[in-house]
Chain A
């Protein structure tokens, strides 16, 4: 019986550990998407944040400076996205793709130039350089896990219960109405994009200085896209997106456990199938086979102020 409880606890902990960056990233993506700005660049922001967090922590010896640097790096990318999409009304998907590719290249280029380890940052061995578990040493429950859990109700409250949130939703549905009410569409969207950068920055920092002890090239490995899938799967609502993140995290935790194990009656389940499930499920949802996912109406449409 004790064994069973332990397995459940460890699987739960593993799920939460994997889901944390997804949750943080998804909450960021939610702010951006609800304001009408598509964010394909979550992956790139997270990657930049992971690199700068680990690099700063390795050089200064402070995990907190690392977190700050991670957030700053993601915010720079977010501002770039905002500058292209809001100020210059560029294509939001193109801008997001550019940010992803730029981040994939830049992190390796800078990492190699600064640390000469083939794109890796020096491993963080000091306890002060990493965010360590708080209550359960073998569960990996560092501070960012709790931040992620708190971020969900906070996001819900901001979007559903505050004046800012109301305007944010309005600007994602009908920017013309917001503009007519005398509120700046651009400033609202910039704030949404900055919030997105903040959360993506936390997610990146989590990857390199909490979950792992260094930055490795391409360490996000599609998690930004899984977070984006979770936002869509959660129908652009905080708690549903949180549920999707937990589901995707659970799938990942189960995939690791099922590696090479024969399930009675089914045989060996290919790990790759479980890894592809988040994408497949999201596609099924988008195709309207499981409920209906309706995006914010003005999403992806640059707002042109009339003169």
Chain B
């Protein structure tokens, strides 16, 4: 006979519980760092300095943050509709293909103010199209979206390798990458923009894509909580039967949710290819799609939470690289371990600390 659970106060549910979950993940990371023979506090200090210690490292932190915001939002939008999109990786890849193709096609003819929006739109369209297939298969053919999006990640990777090796490779190039875009295709770097207004910071990969990311956060917030479509999407996520009763077409909503999600993931291609690489390369999504699941879970699928979680993950990514540079026994993959543990503790084991908190808090109340 178990005592029925008393619900947690609201503030504990939205603020305390996630913090406890993150703390558990980081304690586990600390243990792993200790096991491989490094002082966890020393490692933590190096990591923090590496992430925010100079204007250059802050720039890189924010550049990684941009990618995490895109994929985090992508997962979150689908989540609100009760759809689990694990295909962010593939959608980012194909989104990048879209903006890259647009650049290769138009960069010699269009000026930057027109070319850059074209690239952004192309990334969104291609990302959305790649998400639309699993969405269609779920809505009309009843195949499970989790499985199909996973499969589509692999199909995207195979497709990109084929295209890069056989079609898009620059003539005379040994490595599979396209020709360089012209200067018109470059999204301005943040250090150049700031220098133009008299602020001098060290050069980094940070570019104006972060403005797009913030705009997406606001857009997603407005869409989900202040439009009737967003309301219908969230209704479908909470209770599909109620949504049907309210006259929502679940098929349309599935398509809408997934296409938005795919478009957001596709913007990773904008930040990477138009912001940094200046050509189409292989493997640029580099796990951001999967990390988006961690970001969305940690940010409780709310744009504000996602920005905070993305900042943490961006700092980890940048600080982790510096840490790996300083301590040879630690590799960059430590960041991947942290991502995995965050997904575990804030996702699958989200209710683990609930009984502990209930005991703690109810004692204080009574």
Contact = CB atoms under 8 A, between A and B. Distances in A.
Interface of A: 38, 40, 80, 83-85, 88-95, 97-106, 108-110, 112-114, 116, 119, 222, 225, 228-229, 232, 270, 272-273, 275-276, 279-280, 282-283, 286-288, 295, 307
Contacts of B36: 109-110, 113-114
Chain A interface, >50% SS class: helix
Contacts of B37: 113
Chain B interface, >50% SS class: helix
B14 interface: no
B340 A99 contact: yes
A112 B348 contact: no
A286 B343 contact: no
Contacts of B161: 272
B343 A98 contact: yes
B344 interface: yes
A287 B137 contact: yes
Nearest to A80: B344
Given A97-B293, A105-B335, A279 B348 contact: no
Nearest to B341: A102
B337 A109 contact: yes
A282 B334 CA distance: 34
B351 A89 contact: yes
Given A88-B352, A113-B329, A279-B155, A102 B143 contact: no
Interface in B7-21: none
B86 interface: yes
Given A105-B334, A225-B154, A272-B162, A288 B142 contact: yes
The 8 A-B residue pairs whose C-beta atoms are closest, nearest first, are A105-B336, A102-B340, A286-B143, A95-B348, A90-B348, A105-B337, A101-B340, A113-B36
Nearest to B4: A307
Contacts of A270: 162, 166
A273 B150 CA distance: 17
Interface in B322-366: 328-331, 333-341, 343-344, 347-352
Nearest to B336: A105
B150 A119 contact: no
Given A105-B336, A276-B159, A91 B137 contact: no
Interface centre among A92, A108, A113 (most CB of B within 10 A): A113
Nearest to B354: A88
A283 B329 contact: no
Given A94-B343, A109-B32, A225-B150, A287 B143 contact: yes
Given A97-B86, A287-B143, 20 more contacts: A80-B344, A88-B348, A88-B349, A90-B347, A90-B349, A93-B86, A94-B347, A100-B340, A101-B336, A102-B344, A104-B336, A106-B333, A109-B333, A112-B330, A272-B161, A275-B158, A276-B155, A286-B144, A307-B1, A307-B4
Contacts of A229: 147, 151
A83 B344 CA distance: 11
B194 to A, nearest CB: 34
Interface centre among A91, A102, A222 (most CB of B within 10 A): A102
Contacts of A93: 84, 86, 146
